[in-house]
C-alpha cells in the first residue's frame, strides 16, 4: 500500500479509502440481491442499501475532507498549493478535488428531492413498461428533466446545459465534441445498414435449438479461463441481467444470463463482463483507496467490455480457436455447422428494437437516438410526453423500423427512471474508444490474430494493463487517448473497422 | 411495522433499527466470506468488516441514545420512568437499558486493547493448532484471561467474576446455578457412559462408504423442505464449517458441510442449522429493530438447534419417515441396512476427543470440562500454561480418554482466542433447555411421534413460534422457562430423556 510522505495526503488517503470500502460494502449488497438473496428479503435489502448510502454520504461530505483538501489545492481556483507532492499524488489531489467540487456544488435539498423523485419514477417506469405505455411515466420523467436542468445549473457549463451532465459520466465530454461526431457516425451507420439489408438475408435456425444450461455455464467458464485474471480474484454467477460488480481489484464478480434457446447470449455476455472485470482486476492495488486505483470513466470502462466482446469475441481468429471447443459441448446442435457459417451467424446484421441485443452496426444508432432526445429534453425543446412519437420517428429514420409499443421502445431502458440523463452516450463512446485502442494495439502487434487463434489473451491483456488499467485516473480520458493512440476521440477507427469487416461478410 | 405513540420510544426504535441493519450488513460480509468470496479478497474483507464494526460502534454509543433512554428509564437505578409505555414497550426499554449498561460500563481503552489482543491471539491459536502444541498460545490466552477479569470487574458481579461473563451470553446465569447443576450432570453422564461402553460395541462400516456430494445436497434440501419456513426467506449453501447466519427474519442463510465418506455430518448439520434458522424466521417482524424481534439468548438459540438435531433428528419416528427416502438416494450404500441398524448407528455412543462430533451422552461432558477450566482461570486458580495437563486429566476422569496432542484437545475450539470466555456453558444449556421444552411439548402433544413419523414438522414448529420465537426478548430466559415449562433450568429432563432412550438402545 502506498504511503505518502505528506501528512495531509496521508489523511486524505485514509478518508478516501474509507469511502472506497463503504462503497464496496454497498456493492456486495447489490451483487447479492441479483444472485443469491432470498426473494422475501427485498424490502429489508433496500433499507440496508439506504443505510449504507447515507453512511457513505456522511463520510464523503464531512468538513474534514474539505479542510485537508484545501491544504493541498486552492478550493476556489483548483490550483495545487503544496509543492511537496509527487506527480502521482498531485493527480490524486486533482481528482479528489473534481469529485469534491461536484459533490459540494449540489445542495442537500436538491440531492434529497432527486432521490425521492427517482424512487417514485422507478416504480412508475416498471409499471408503465408492464402496461406497455409511456403515458403514465411521462410526468415522472418531466420532473427528472427539471431536476437535471437544475443540476446542470448547479454544476455550471459553458455552452449547453447537457454538457454539465455529460461531464459527470465522461469527464471533459461536451455536445460540441459529440454533435459532429454522432452526426457523421449516424450517417455512415445508416448508410452501411441500408447496404447490408439490401443483400440476401440468411437465417440461422441452429441458434434456436436447445442448448442445455449446464453446458452453457461450462462454456462460459471455459471462456473466462482465457482471461489472465490474477489468481482467485473473480467468480461467475447467474443473474437475469448480466453485470460485473467489482468490490475491489481482488474481488470481481461477473454474471451471465442463461437462455437455453439463445446460446450466444451467455457467451457474449461473459466476454463483455470479463472485459469490465479484467479492467478492475488490473488496477494498481498499491494505490487502493485513491483515484489511481479507480477506473477512468464510464466510456473507457465500456471500451474494455466492447473490445473483448466484439473486436475479439466476434472476430474470426477467436472462433478459429473456440469453435472446435464449442462443438465438443454441443456436438448435436452444431453437427452440420462449419466455422464460416457460425462466424456469419454471430455477425448477422439486422435492425432491431432492443439496444442491448443490437449488432455492431446498429448498436450506436440506438444510442444516438437517445442522445438527441436527451439533449432536446434538457434544452427545453422537447417535452417528455412527446417522446414516444419522436422515438418512433427517429427509429424509422435511422434503423428503418419502429416499435409497436413503448415497452420495446422508449421504455426499454432503466436509465432515465434512475435520473441518469447524460449516461447513454458513453455506450457509443465505448465502441469508438475500443476501435481506437484496438487499432493502436494491432498496429504494434500486427500478428495479434495469431495469438487469438491460439486462445492466447495474455498479450492484449498485458498491453491494456500497462497502457491503461494500471494508470487509474492519472490522466483524463482525452489525455489517455491522445497519449496512447496519438488521436483525439473520433469515429474514424470504428467506421474503418466496420467497413472492413462487413465488406467481407456482406460484400458491401 | 410497530409504531409507538411515545415520541422518545419511536426515536429509540429508529436508532435501534439502524444498528440492527448495520449488523445485518456486517453479517452478509461474514456469510459471503465463508461461501462465495474469491480467496484473494480476504485481506480487504477484513477491512470491510472493520469499517462496519467501527460504524456500528459509533451509532450504538452516540450520546443521543443515552439521552433518549434516560427519558424512559432511570439510568442509575434501571427503574422505568414513563408511565405511557405499553407492556411490550416497557420490555424493549429494559432490554435496551441492559445492552446500554453493558456497553457503557466498558471503557473504550479496554475494548480497543481487547480487540488488539484477540486479533493476535487468533493468529497464534491457528498457528499453535497447526503445530499441535498449546505452548505458544498460552501467553496469548493468559492476556485474554487478564482482560476477561478486568471486563468482569467493569461489568460488576456478586459472587464470582465469572458470573459477569456468563451473564453476557446467558442473561441471569451464575456459577451458583451452574455449579450444582453441572456437577450432578457430570456424575450422571459419566456413570451412564461407563455402563454403555461396558456393553458390546457394534461397528457400522456402511457409514464409511462413499456418499456422492450431489446426492447429499439433495437429501439436505429434502430435510429443509420439512421445516415450515415462511416462503422464500431461506437458502442453503456449502461451507467448511456449518453455520446459520440470519441477516433478518426474511433472509436466513444456512450452510452445511459435505464429506463424501461421512454422510451423517451433512444431514445432522442441516437439522441443527435449520433449528437456528426456524427461530430467526419465526421472530415477530412487526417489532423489527427492537429487542422483541431478537432471539433470547445463546442458550435458548442452541436449544432450538439441538431440539431439531437430536430430539427430533436422532429419534426413531423421524427415521421411520425419512429412512426410506434416504434409501432412494443411496440404494447401494444402504442396500442391506434396516431402520433398526440405522437408528442404532446414528445414536452410537463412544467417548471421543472432539466436542462438535460428540454424541448426546458425552457432549455435555466436553462443555463441563471447559466450564471448570474457564472458571478457575478467571478465579486465578489456574494458569493458562497448565491447561494441557488439566485438560487431559479431566478428559480421562469424565470420558476415559485423553488427546495425544493439543490440536485435538484444548486447542480444538476457536472461542478462547476470540475472547469468548463464558460462552461455552450455553452449549450444554442448549441441551437442557431443549429437553425441558421437548418434555413440555410432548406432555401436551402425547402423539407428537405420529406427526414426525409422517414428516410433519408444522405442529412443533408452530408451538415453538407461539410460545417462544414470537416473544423475542419479552421475558428473560429464566422467566421463559418458568412460564413455558413451569420449571427453573435443571438437568432433570435431559437426564430422564437420555436414560429412557439409551436404556432401549443399550439395555443399560
Asked whether the beta carbons of residue B24 and residue A48 sit closer than 8 angstroms, the reply is: yes
Q: How far apart are the CA of A403 and the nearest CA of chain B, in angstroms?
A: 37
B252 forms beta bridges with: B234, B246
Q: How many CA atoms lie within 13 A of A20 on its CB side?
A: 24
Which residue of chain B is at minimal alpha-carbon distance from A229? B40
If one counts every other C-beta atom within 10 angstroms of the C-beta of residue B430, the result is 27
Quick: pLDDT tens for B218-232: 999 999 999 999 999
User: Residues A464, A468, A469, CA angle at the centre, nearest 5°?
Assistant: 85
3-state secondary structure of A23: helix
Contacts of A67 (CB under 8 A, 6+ apart): none
Q: What is the pLDDT of residue A1?
A: 87
* CA dihedral sign of residues A213, A215, A220, A221: positive
Size of interface A-B (CB pairs under 8 A): 95
Quick: pLDDT tens for A130-154: 999 999 999 999 999 999 999 999 9
Q: What is the pLDDT of residue A203?
A: 93
Question: Are A141 and A384 within 8 A, CB to CB?
Answer: yes
Q: What is the pLDDT of residue B83?
A: 77
Question: Are A328 and A306 within 8 A, CB to CB?
Answer: no
3-state secondary structure of A80: strand
If one counts every other C-beta atom within 10 angstroms of the C-beta of residue B210, the result is 11
Quick: pLDDT tens for A252-289: 999 999 999 999 999 999 999 999 999 999 999 999 99
Contact list in A for residue B37 (CB cut-off 8 A) is 251
Quick: pLDDT tens for A43-99: 999 999 999 999 998 998 899 999 999 999 999 999 999 778 999 999 999 999 999
Question: Are A373 and A382 within 8 A, CB to CB?
Answer: yes
B interface with A, Cβ–Cβ < 8 A, is 18, 21-22, 24-25, 28-29, 32, 36-41, 43-45, 47-48, 51-52, 55, 230-235, 237, 247-248, 250-253, 288
What are the cell numbers at A17?
Answer: 479509502
Residue A472 has pLDDT above 80, yes or no: yes
Displacement of CA A499 from its chain's centroid (Å): 24
Asked whether the beta carbons of residue A251 and residue B39 sit closer than 8 angstroms, the reply is: no
Test mutation, A250, A253, A293, chain B, max B CBs within 10 A? A250
How far apart are alpha carbons A414 and A451 in whole angstroms?
A: 38
Cα-based distances in Å from A318 to A271, A345, A456, B98: 11, 14, 9, 65
CA Rg value for chain B: 23
Contacts of B337 (CB under 8 A, 6+ apart): B206
Strand-pair category, B234-238 with B251-256: parallel
Scan for cell 444470463, then name that residue. A257
Q: What percent of chain A has pLDDT over 90?
A: 96
A15-19 long-range contacts (CB < 8 A, ≥24 apart) are A15/A59, A15/A62, A15/A64, A15/A65, A15/A68, A16/A96, A16/A289, A16/A290, A16/A291, A17/A288, A17/A289, A17/A290, A18/A59, A18/A289, A18/B51, A19/A56, A19/A59, A19/A60
Displacement of CA B337 from its chain's centroid (Å): 33
Displacement of CA A453 from its chain's centroid (Å): 27
Closest CA to B264 of B337, B196, B201: B337
Alpha helix segments (H runs only) across A226-362: 263-281, 298-306, 316-329, 339-346
What are the cell numbers at A270?
Answer: 461473459
Cα-based distances in Å from B457 to A305, B223, B226, B490: 50, 10, 6, 26
> What pTM, to 2 d.p., does this model score?
0.94
The shortest CB-CB distance from A25 to any of B25, B43, B232 is to B25
Asked whether the beta carbons of residue A235 and residue B36 sit closer than 8 angstroms, the reply is: yes
pLDDT, chain A, mean: 96
Contacts of A145 (CB under 8 A, 6+ apart): A377, A378, A384, A421
User: Which residue ranges in chain B fall short of pLDDT 50?
Assistant: none
Test mutation, A51, A233, A239, A245, chain B, max B CBs within 10 A? A51
3-state helix, strand, coil in chain B (%, to 5): 65, 5, 30
Strand-pair category, B251-256 with A251-256: unpaired
What are the cell numbers at A317?
Answer: 481468429
Q: What is the pLDDT of residue A293?
A: 98
Q: How far apart are the CA of B202 and the nearest CA of chain A, in angstroms?
A: 44
What are the catalytic residues of B?
A: 273
Once rounded to an integer, what is the mean pLDDT over residues A198-210? 94
Contact list in B for residue A288 (CB cut-off 8 A) is 44
A interface with B, Cβ–Cβ < 8 A, is 18, 21-22, 24-25, 28-29, 32, 36-41, 43-45, 47-48, 51-52, 55, 230-235, 237, 247-248, 250-252, 288
Quick: pLDDT tens for A333-390: 999 999 999 999 999 999 999 999 999 999 999 999 999 999 999 999 999 999 999 9
Test mutation, A25, A33, A54, A233, chain B, max B CBs within 10 A? A25
How far apart are alpha carbons B90 and B72 in whole angstroms?
A: 9
What are the catalytic residues of A?
A: 273
If one counts every other C-beta atom within 10 angstroms of the C-beta of residue B284, the result is 19
Q: What is the pLDDT of residue A83?
A: 77
Residue A479 has pLDDT above 90, yes or no: yes
DSSP B491: S
Scan for cell 431402520, then name that residue. B339
Asked whether the beta carbons of residue B22 and residue A252 sit closer than 8 angstroms, the reply is: no
Confidence of residue A224 (pLDDT cuts 50, 70, 90): very high
Q: What percent of chain A has pLDDT over 70?
A: 100
Amino acid at each position: 500500500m502506498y504511503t505518502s510522505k505528506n501528512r495531509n495526503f496521508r489523511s486524505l488517503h485514509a478518508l478516501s479509502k474509507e469511502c472506497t470500502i463503504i462503497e464496496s460494502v454497498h456493492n456486495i449488497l447489490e451483487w447479492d440481491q441479483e444472485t443469491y438473496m432470498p426473494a422475501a428479503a427485498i424490502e429489508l435489502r433496500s433499507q440496508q442499501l439506504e443505510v449504507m448510502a447515507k453512511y457513505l454520504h456522511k463520510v464523503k461530505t464531512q468538513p474534514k475532507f474539505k479542510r485537508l483538501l484545501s491544504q493541498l489545492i486552492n478550493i476556489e481556483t483548483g490550483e495545487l498549493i503544496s509543492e511537496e507532492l509527487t506527480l502521482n499524488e498531485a493527480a490524486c489531489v486533482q481528482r479528489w478535488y473534481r469529485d469534491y467540487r461536484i459533490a459540494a456544488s449540489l445542495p442537500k435539498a436538491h440531492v434529497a428531492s432527486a432521490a425521492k423523485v427517482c424512487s417514485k419514477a422507478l416504480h412508475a417506469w416498471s409499471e408503465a413498461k408492464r402496461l406497455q405505455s409511456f403515458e403514465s411515466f411521462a410526468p415522472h420523467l418531466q420532473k427528472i428533466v427539471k431536476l437535471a436542468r437544475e443540476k446542470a445549473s448547479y454544476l455550471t457549463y459553458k455552452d449547453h446545459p447537457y454538457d454539465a451532465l455529460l461531464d459527470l459520466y465522461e469527464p471533459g465530454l461536451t455536445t460540441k465534441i459529440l454533435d459532429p461526431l454522432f452526426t457523421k457516425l449516424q450517417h455512415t451507420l445508416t448508410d452501411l445498414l441500408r447496404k447490408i439489408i439490401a443483400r440476401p438475408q440468411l437465417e440461422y435456425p441452429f441458434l434456436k435449438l436447445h442448448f442445455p444450461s449446464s453446458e452453457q455455464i461450462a462454456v462460459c467458464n471455459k471462456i473466462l479461463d482465457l482471461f489472465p485474471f490474477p489468481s482467485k480474484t473473480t467468480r461467475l454467477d447467474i443473474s437475469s441481467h448480466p453485470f460485473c460488480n467489482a468490490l475491489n481489484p481482488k474481488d470481481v464478480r461477473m454474471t451471465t444470463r442463461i437462455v437455453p434457446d439463445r446460446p450466444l447470449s451467455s457467451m457474449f455476455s461473459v466476454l463483455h463482463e470479463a472485459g469490465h472485470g479484467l479492467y478492475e482486476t488490473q488496477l494498481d492495488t498499491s494505490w487502493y483507496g485513491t483515484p489511481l486505483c479507480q477506473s477512468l470513466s464510464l466510456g473507457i470502462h465500456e471500451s474494455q467490455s466492447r473490445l473483448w466482446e466484439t473486436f475479439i469475441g466476434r472476430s474470426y481468429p477467436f472462433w478459429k480457436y473456440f469453435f472446435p471447443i464449442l462443438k465438443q459441448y454441443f456436438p448435436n446442435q452444431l453437427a452440420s455447422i462449419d466455422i464460416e457459417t457460425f462466424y456469419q451467424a454471430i455477425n448477422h446484421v439486422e435492425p432491431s428494437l432492443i439496444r442491448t441485443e443490437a449488432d455492431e452496426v446498429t448498436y450506436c444508432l440506438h444510442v444516438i437516438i437517445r442522445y438527441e432526445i436527451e439533449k432536446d429534453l434538457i434544452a427545453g425543446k422537447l417535452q417528455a410526453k412527446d417522446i414516444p412519437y419522436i422515438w418512433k420517428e427517429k427509429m424509422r429514420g435511422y434503423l428503418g423500423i419502429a416499435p409497436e409499443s413503448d415497452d420495446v421502445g422508449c421504455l426499454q431502458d432503466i436509465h432515465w427512471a434512475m435520473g441518469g440523463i447524460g449516461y447513454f452516450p458513453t455506450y457509443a463512446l465505448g465502441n469508438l474508444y475500443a476501435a481506437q485502442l484496438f487499432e493502436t494495439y494491432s498496429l504494434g502487434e500486427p500478428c495479434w490474430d495469431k495469438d487469438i487463434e491460439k486462445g492466447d489473451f495474455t498479450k492484449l491483456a498485458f498491453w491494456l494493463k500497462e497502457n491503461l488499467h494500471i494508470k487509474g485516473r492519472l490522466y483524463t480520458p482525452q489525455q489517455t487517448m491522445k497519449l496512447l493512440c496519438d488521436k483525439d476521440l473520433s469515429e474514424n477507427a470504428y467506421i474503418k473497422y466496420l467497413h472492413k469487416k462487413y465488406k467481407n461478410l456482406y460484400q458491401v
